[in-house]
Structure 1
Amino acid sequence: MHAPPRGRVYAIYYTALAAIAVPVNIMAIVILSRGRCGLPNCITRYLLSMTDLLVIFTAVILNRIPAIYFPGSFLSITPVCSLRIALIYAARDSSVWLTVAFTFDRFVAICCQKLKTKYCTDKTAAVVIGMVCALVCLKSVPWYFIHEPLYKIDNVPWYCKLKKIRYASPIWRTFDWFGRILTHCLSFILIFLLNAVTVRYILAASRARSRLRAHSNEEIQSDPEMESRRKSIVLLFAISGSFILLWMTYLVQLLLERFISDYKIKSFSDPKFVLQESGNMLQLLCCCTNTFIYCSNSE
């Protein structure tokens, strides 16, 4: 995940991604913070927490761009490098689980009317966001201690490489494998199932409403409720579809890495490295697309 990419394609892509994602996310934060979007406070809190500005800052601005344009800078000193890696895991995993939390909140709001008044509140959203961020940060701390210097110059440690204990210790292998399954596989399943159930509920409610209007012999006209439900379906499909498609390559690479016995990357031109970096590029692209989706559907 943290190998420095090389080549004009990577340089252009990550520079453009940072140039677009940073102002887009800042604009989203400003708009949502004003509270003039007509959204409940709980939704606004989730959208603010999901702007992914920290992901862009840690994974692109502090990691990818310096590796391309400023190799050997102070950011490559081992303690700083280890801290960057831990922050990347914390920011990325927080983004994933906050998306799951938001999806669950919308599921409750649409499908569980009795629970809605108690769960879909500003206070609950704040507690959930705080718990998710705290647990993810706690889970990311071990990544700071699993790296060692690649070499030393004048007693200054440079760059990061995984310690041998990462591969030799069953505890570390279990920790890494469990964390990746939890973040990538389980989040996929939860988002897909919650959205599937929500869309099914909306479609069933819409059909019942259509039959009721037909039996009451109402004139055919625009139905605000039906239009609202249609927009909800579009939003849910956009969120789940974008998330799954842009993370799929990363998930495939992860599975190959785990189930192929001799999975070693030999060079930057190695197809395995290209697959890995493609997964990282698409995964980070979520930081732009998610913000566009949430804000364009916030009205």
Structure 2
Amino acid sequence: MHFPPRGPIYATYYTALAGIAVPVNLVAIVILSRGKCGLSRCITWYLVSMAVTDLLVILTAVILNRIPAIFFPGSFLSITPVCSFSIALIYASRDSSVWLTVAFTVDRFVAICCLKLKTKYCVTKMAAVIIGTISSLGCLKSVPWYFIHEPMYVIDNVPWYCRLKNLRYTSPAWRAFDWFDRILTPCLPFLLIILLNALTVRHILAASRARRRLRCHSNAEDHSDPEVESRRKSIILLFAISGAFILLWMTYVVQFLYERLTNNYQILGFTDPKFILQESANMFQLLSCCTNTFIYAVTQRKFREELKNLVKHPLSRLVKLIQQ
């Protein structure tokens, strides 16, 4: 994340990612904020906050870090204090994005499996508190990353580029912080999401069997159950978001475990397999910041309708202007 590679593959990938991720996240923010997608206000708050943090990840990690390093090396963004601040922002937005996904998973688990707690937890006020807390803690945890970098060159008393200090690998405190950072994001979210989804599935299957038995005993007509249909839509959205997160962060987890188990941090060049694994992990991780909007479009009918209206409105206005 600190030394973006150069080459046509990386240049094309990060340019395309920025060109896709920025508009799709903006579209998601606009559509969800209008509150016409048939989702509760609590869910809407989580989804909007996730779209905002995903957009911030793209802005900080791709537009302010990757693309300038590839196309404009030696720009103002390469000065060491600016570079260090940019890296701290990347970690802050990344951690917030990941833990908001966990918060959304917890909210859906409580709403489906803990009916007594639902009335107190799954409300807009609680969602706002949780979103604010996660964002604040994400910013606070990223502060040490600003101080762990040193300049690669000093030209005319101006420090250039960011390089990790040797303290990063020799200090027990920094090694402990590095383990804490990687466990907190994304290892612990991995475990929480998998565990909560498994418990949610078990609860839904048990509840569905019980409802089918009750409907059979009451000789209900053979038509769709609104409660089951509502749960089905909710669980599809939950599993799609959680599944995409796990798949796209898996390489990052593998890279972290390989690096720590082998205790080998040296990278010999852009063709080094360790560098390719590391960069692939970063590429997949950043790709996760533009998948949620496509998930909404595939799984939510009302979101698709709002998206069509959003596209049709400016086109209809343009046609009227041409006719006039």
Q: TM over 0.5, yes or no?
A: yes
Shift of 1:27: 0.7
Shift of 1:238: 1.2
Residue-by-residue CA offset, 1:86-111 (whole Å, 9 max, x unaligned): 00000001000011011101111111
Any residues of structure 2 matched to 1:243-282 within 5 Å, and which?
243-282=245-284
Matched, 1:111 2:147: no
User: Structure 1 residue runs of 4+, over 6 Å off?
Assistant: none
Instruction: Please report the TM-score for the alignment, with normalisation by the length of structure 2.
Output: 0.89
For the residues of structure 2 that align with 1:159 and 1:82, how far apart are their CA atoms? 9
Residue-by-residue CA offset, 1:37-75 (whole Å, 9 max, x unaligned): 232221111111100110110011111111111111110
Shift of 1:264: 1.4
Kept after mapping to 2: 8 A contact 1:6/1:68? yes
Kept after mapping to 1: 8 A contact 2:190/2:246? yes
Any residues of structure 2 matched to 1:217-296 within 5 Å, and which?
217-294=219-296, 296=298
Matched, 1:152 2:123: no
Identity of aligned residues (%): 76
Kept after mapping to 2: 8 A contact 1:47/1:294? no
Shift of 1:210: 1.2
Any residues of structure 2 matched to 1:77-96 within 5 Å, and which?
77-96=79-98
Kept after mapping to 2: 8 A contact 1:253/1:279? yes
For the residues of structure 1 that align with 2:296 and 2:256, how far apart are their CA atoms? 28
For the residues of structure 1 that align with 2:266 and 2:171, how far apart are their CA atoms? 19
Q: Which amino acid aligns with 2:195?
A: L
Q: Which amino acid aligns with 1:210?
A: R
Shift of 1:296: 4.5
Q: Which amino acid aligns with 2:236?
A: V
User: In the alignment, what sits opposite 2:193?
Assistant: 191
Residue-by-residue CA offset, 1:110-152 (whole Å, 9 max, x unaligned): 1111111111111100100111111111010010011110011
Q: Which amino acid aligns with 2:24?
A: V
Shift of 1:294: 4.0
For the residues of structure 1 that align with 2:73 and 2:109, how far apart are their CA atoms? 46
Q: Which amino acid aligns with 1:20?
A: I
Q: Secondary structure at the match of 1:91?
A: helix
Point out where structure 1 has 5 or more consecutive residues left out of the alignment.
none
Shift of 1:295: 5.5
Residue-by-residue CA offset, 1:186-232 (whole Å, 9 max, x unaligned): 11000111111111111111111111112222222222222222223
For the residues of structure 2 that align with 1:79 and 1:287, how far apart are their CA atoms? 26
User: In the alignment, what sits opposite 1:73?
Assistant: 75
Q: Which amino acid aligns with 1:36?
A: K
Instruction: Please report the TM-score for the alignment, with normalisation by the length of structure 1.
Output: 0.97
For the residues of structure 2 that align with 1:239 and 1:199, how far apart are their CA atoms? 15
For the residues of structure 2 that align with 1:226 and 1:121, how far apart are their CA atoms? 22
Q: Which amino acid aligns with 1:208?
A: A
2:60 to 44, 51, 58: 58
For the residues of structure 2 that align with 1:84 and 1:260, how far apart are their CA atoms? 29
User: In the alignment, what sits opposite 2:30?
Assistant: 30
Q: Secondary structure at the match of 1:157?
A: strand
For the residues of structure 2 that align with 1:251 and 1:4, how far apart are their CA atoms? 19
Q: 1:55 to 1:81 in 2, by over 3 A?
A: same
User: In the alignment, what sits opposite 2:4?
Assistant: 4
Aligned residues: 299
Kept after mapping to 1: 8 A contact 2:88/2:142? yes
For the residues of structure 2 that align with 1:226 and 1:45, how far apart are their CA atoms? 24
For the residues of structure 1 that align with 2:91 and 2:293, how far apart are their CA atoms? 20
